[in-house]
Amino acid sequence: MESCIFCKIIKGEIPAAKVYDGSKFIAFLDISPANKGHTLIIPKRHYVSLEEMPDGDGKEFGELQVKLGKAVMKATNAEGFNLLLNNGKAAGQEVMHAHIHIQPRFSSDDFHYKWTHKKYDDGEMQRMQEKIKQFL
Q: Does 5 bind ligand AMP (CB under 6 A)?
A: yes
> Is 101 part of the annotated catalytic residue set?
no
3-class secondary structure for 6-26? Answer: HHHHHHCCCCCCEEEECCCEE
DSSP state at residue 118: P
Considering only 13, 94, 122, 130, the residue that binds ligand AMP (CB under 6 A) is: 94
Tally Cβ neighbours within 10 Å of residue 88. 14
Residue 4 interacting entry, from Zn ion, ligand AMP, none, C-beta within 5 to 8 Å by type: Zn ion
User: Least separation, in Å, of the C-beta of 41 and Zn ion?
Assistant: 14
Short-list 93, 94, 9, CA closest to 17: 9
3-class secondary structure for 83-136? Answer: EECCCCHHHCCCCCCCCEEEEEECCCCCCCCCCCCCCCCCCHHHHHHHHHHHCC
Residue 86 interacting entry, from ligand AMP, Zn ion, none, C-beta within 5 to 8 Å by type: ligand AMP
Q: Does 32 bind ligand AMP (CB under 6 A)?
A: yes
Considering only 16, 27, 42, 102, the residue that binds ligand AMP (CB under 6 A) is: 16
User: Least separation, in Å, of the C-beta of 11 and ligand AMP?
Assistant: 13
**Of 38, 97, 99, 117, which one is the catalytic site residue?**
99
Q: Does 81 bind ligand AMP (CB under 6 A)?
A: no
Q: Indicate the pairing of strand 39-43 with strand 80-84.
A: unpaired
Q: Does 95 bind ligand AMP (CB under 6 A)?
A: yes
The binding site for ligand AMP (CB under 6 A) comprises: 5, 16, 30-32, 86, 92-95
